[in-house]
Each structure stands twice: as structure tokens, then as C-alpha cells.
A and B are shown apart, each in its own frame.
Chain A
Amino acid sequence: MSYGLEIFDSSGNKTFSTTDSTWTLLGVYTSNADTSTTHTGVPVMPTRLVTRIMVDQISGDDESYVHTFSLSGSTLTTTAPSSSETVKTIFMVFGK
């Protein structure tokens, strides 16, 4: 590295470097089962990534959709594809 920042621990192991890439957690948002929800106040960064986690088990004979979403500016709009078969979904928005 000719310029940038490297961080080492006391043993000399590199723990972070500006040659790394990383994702910063901008927010965690939960949309309840079968309900469309709009989340506001999402921080803006040049690049963002949205991961979805279905919270409860799919037992196979009931809820099995996760929410769809769109992220624009500071608004995360989440939509339940089904009013009776959409599982509770956690959205984690990362930025870099």
C-alpha cells in the first residue's frame, strides 16, 4: 500500500485496511407478516445493499412469501405479496 490507512493489533496482525471493502449497517427494519410497510429515515450512501431475512420458519403449509421492496432515497417501501401468506421479514440495509 502506497497510501491509505492500515490498522494493526498489538501482535502486528492487520485488522483493517483501506484496501478492504466493507459494508456499514445503515439500519434494520422489520415488516410484519401479511402487512405492507413503508420505512422512512433510511440513511443514504453512494452504494446500498438490502438483505432480507425471513424470521419465522416456513412450515410449508402456510406463510411462504417474503416482502418485496424498493429503496429510493431515505424510503424503504416493503410490500407483502400476499395478505395471508407473507412471512415476517427483516430488512438489513448496508451502505458503502
Chain B
Amino acid sequence: MAHGLLVKNEDGDVLIDSDFPHYHFLGKYTHTSVTQVPDINEGGVANAAQGSNDYKGMQNMPARGEIYKFSVPVNGAKPPMCFIKPTSTGSSAPFTGIILTKQSGTNWEIWVFQSVVTSANPVLYCFAPLSQVSTSTSDTYGLKTFDNGGTATFDSRFKPLRVVGGGNITSPTLAHTGSTGSSWTASLGVNASSVSASFTNQSSASDLIYYCPSIASACQQYTHIEADQGWYSYTYYAWARGDLWWCFYRSCFRIASTSSFEANYGVYARGHVYEHKVDSTNLLFGIVLGAITGGAYFVAAVALAVNSGAFTSAGLDGGNYLPYENSYRNNSANAFIISKASYYD
């Protein structure tokens, strides 16, 4: 820097550099609506006489998390940094993460996903560069810096972002480990061990807020196919049933203690499609069974299952939420930053 202000601490970390824009407090925001991804549940012919007619809904499936929608009034190309003040902290707290950041007119739309439904709501503490902070102040005390173009980059009157910790965290690979089901009972609940990362110890976990956009996802499924044939009421029947259950998980986070940040998953979407066929007009058992086995059947069934009306009502894009099979994506190098709510309350 040829001129300006550069403030470092004793570790050599740059605290203020007038050449670069600092993030300042925009405000504290509560959600405008809450929603969930609608269940995707669709089946074919039901027949009580031949084959099991049970478990054709979402029985035994894990509960879905919920999505809190926020609208943050900050006009500009740079997205706000939104810190989550979670509903609770500790080793039993829900996991929460930002799953969507999208510019919408003069606002930025932020979606926060929480792994379980609670009566309390997460709150956002949002920050933006000074050029996107529209609040004014009559305060004449403080320190203000400008870059060489004359643009304000730091102004203590607008509560600059103060950070108490941060780092990188890796989400678990799969959300569910072990068996995914037996017979017509799917077992897809989140049971992965949480991954933790440490940060500088603080005095109160409940005062902490964190910035850590969710980028990791996992998708797991369970299939079951069963068939039989024989005589029933003097008629020869062949029956077959095939089921596909799946969960799409999104990574989310929690403050586990005054020095520990944890990552795991929540059930973002879940689905179950099935086909149950009975044929009493011929003895070709293979035809009945063949009608429902194989990936092509499930691909077609999943495509039919999407109820676009339900997604419109929920304010979500339609889709089958089954992007891939039994795998995970984007689980590493998820940066997080910790601050304190009390700095801004």
C-alpha cells in the first residue's frame, strides 16, 4: 500500500486494510416463511389379496427437516454474509445450514435448513460491504477508512464484522451407515458420526453465531422386490411388488461447545415409489415380475411421482430429489467463521 491505513495484530494478521472492503452489520433478520420439501410418494396397483399391501406410505422413513426462508434487503452484486444464530447449542442441538443464496430484485433470498422441526427459529445476523449498507447514522465518533478511489472501506460506526474463530470442516461422507433396510422396512435415518472442528475457546456457546454455507449432500436409497405365484380361490395368480425408498440429505452444522463446531446431515427430501402387480389371466410369472424389476421401471416410476402442484404450494422447485444413488458430493473444504451475537444485539 502506497498510502492508507493498515492495522495488524501481534500475530501479523491484518485487521484493517483501507484498500479492501470490510463487512459491516446489516441487521438481524427473522424468517418470512417456513416450508418442507413435499413427500414424493407414488404407487401402482394395490391388491389386498396377493402380496403385502402394507408399508406403501412413508412408514419408517426418517422425519424431514424444515426450510426457513429469509429475505435480506441488501442491493448489490456481493452476497451478504449471513451468520446463523441457532435455536440451541450443544451435543443434542439441531444441525442448521444455509442451503440457498440467491439475488432476488433488491434483496438476497437466503434459505436456512434445520435438521429437525423445532418451535424456536434460527435468526440471521447479516453483513455486507459498506457500499451495500444503506443504513445511516448521526454518530460522528469513530474511524473511517477509504481506498485510493475514495470509496469507504471501513467505518466503525456501522459495526464491522468481528470474528472470534474459523476454519474448514469436512462433512461426513454418507448420512446413513450400515443396513438401509429389511423387507418392506427402510432404514435411512441419519446415523453418521458428526465431524467436529475446533476454534478458539469462547466463554458462552449460546452467544455464538456462525457463517458456513451448506454445500455437501448425500443421497441414499433402499430397494426391495418380492414376488410369488400360486392358486388362490381356484384361480392361479402371480404377483410381484417392487419398492424404492430414498432420502436426499443436506449438510448442516451446530455449535457443539464453546470451542467445537460440528457437521452432519439432515433429511432434506424423501421419497417412496412402488409397483404392485397381479396377473390372474396367464401363468407367465416372469411377465409379472419382469414388469417391475430393473432400473428402468424405477426411473419411470420416480418421474411419474413428482407432484408439481405440491412443490408450487411449498414454494420449491419441483423435482424428484434423487440426483444420484448411494453416494455424496461436495463434502470437503467447507469454510466456517464464528462471531458473537452480543457484538451486534
The reply to whether B269 and A20 form a contact with Cβ atoms under 8 Å apart is: no
Kindly list chain A residues whose C-beta atoms are within 8 Å of the C-beta of B160. 15-16, 22
The reply to whether B12 and A62 form a contact with Cβ atoms under 8 Å apart is: no
- Complex partner residue of A51 from B78, B213, B269, B319, CB under 8 angstroms: B213
- Complex partner residue of A21 from B15, B22, B139, CB under 8 angstroms: B15
Q: How distant is the Cα of A7 from the Cα of B191 in the complex, in angstroms?
A: 47
Q: How distant is the Cα of A61 from the Cα of B37 in the complex, in angstroms?
A: 13
Kindly list chain A residues whose C-beta atoms are within 8 Å of the C-beta of B330. 64-66
Interface residue count on the A side (C-beta < 8 Å): 49
Q: Determine how close the nearest CB of chain A comes to the CB of B76; give it in whole angstroms.
A: 10
**Interface range, B side:** 35 or more
Q: Take A54-B213, A90-B79 as given contacts and tell me if A22 and B319 are in contact as well, using a CB distance cutoff of 8 Å.
A: no
Q: Which residue of B lies closest to A15 (CB)?
A: B156
Kindly list chain A residues whose C-beta atoms are within 8 Å of the C-beta of B143. 7, 16
The reply to whether A43 and B20 form a contact with Cβ atoms under 8 Å apart is: yes
B230 interface hit (Cβ, 8 Å): no
- Complex partner residue of A20 from B163, B250, B323, CB under 8 angstroms: B163
Give the residues from 39 to 56 in chain A that come closer than 8 angstroms, CB to CB, to chain B. Answer: 43, 45-47, 49-56
Give the residues from 7 to 64 in chain A that come closer than 8 angstroms, CB to CB, to chain B. Answer: 7-10, 15-26, 28, 43, 45-47, 49-62, 64
The reply to whether A51 and B211 form a contact with Cβ atoms under 8 Å apart is: yes
The reply to whether B157 and A15 form a contact with Cβ atoms under 8 Å apart is: yes
Give the residues from 288 to 318 in chain B that come closer than 8 angstroms, CB to CB, to chain A. Answer: 316-318
Q: Determine how close the nearest CB of chain B comes to the CB of A42; give it in whole angstroms.
A: 12
Kindly list chain A residues whose C-beta atoms are within 8 Å of the C-beta of B322. 60-61
Kindly list chain B residues whose C-beta atoms are within 8 Å of the C-beta of A4. 9
B283 interface hit (Cβ, 8 Å): no
The reply to whether B12 and A46 form a contact with Cβ atoms under 8 Å apart is: yes
B58 interface hit (Cβ, 8 Å): no
Kindly list chain A residues whose C-beta atoms are within 8 Å of the C-beta of B318. 59
Kindly list chain A residues whose C-beta atoms are within 8 Å of the C-beta of B213. 51-54
The reply to whether A24 and B142 form a contact with Cβ atoms under 8 Å apart is: no
Q: Determine how close the nearest CB of chain B comes to the CB of A33; give it in whole angstroms.
A: 14
Q: How distant is the Cα of A26 from the Cα of B138 in the complex, in angstroms?
A: 29
Give the residues from 195 to 234 in chain B that come closer than 8 angstroms, CB to CB, to chain A. Answer: 211, 213, 215, 217
The reply to whether B78 and A28 form a contact with Cβ atoms under 8 Å apart is: yes
Q: Take A58-B217, A90-B79 as given contacts and tell me if A25 and B320 are in contact as well, using a CB distance cutoff of 8 Å.
A: no
The reply to whether A24 and B163 form a contact with Cβ atoms under 8 Å apart is: no
- Complex partner residue of B319 from A8, A18, A19, A60, CB under 8 angstroms: A60
Kindly list chain A residues whose C-beta atoms are within 8 Å of the C-beta of B16. 16, 22, 24
B21 interface hit (Cβ, 8 Å): yes
The reply to whether A18 and B7 form a contact with Cβ atoms under 8 Å apart is: yes
Q: How distant is the Cα of A28 from the Cα of B329 in the complex, in angstroms?
A: 23
Give the residues from 1 to 51 in chain B that come closer than 8 angstroms, CB to CB, to chain A. Answer: 7, 9, 12-17, 19-23
Sample (8) of A-B pairs whose CB atoms are under 8 Å apart: A16-B160, A21-B165, A23-B166, A26-B20, A43-B20, A60-B323, A61-B321, A69-B333
| Interface residues of B, Cβ cutoff 8 Å to A | 7, 9, 12-17, 19-23, 77-79, 81, 98-102, 111, 129, 139-143, 156-157, 159-166, 211, 213, 215, 217, 248, 250, 268-269, 316-324, 329-330, 333-335, 337
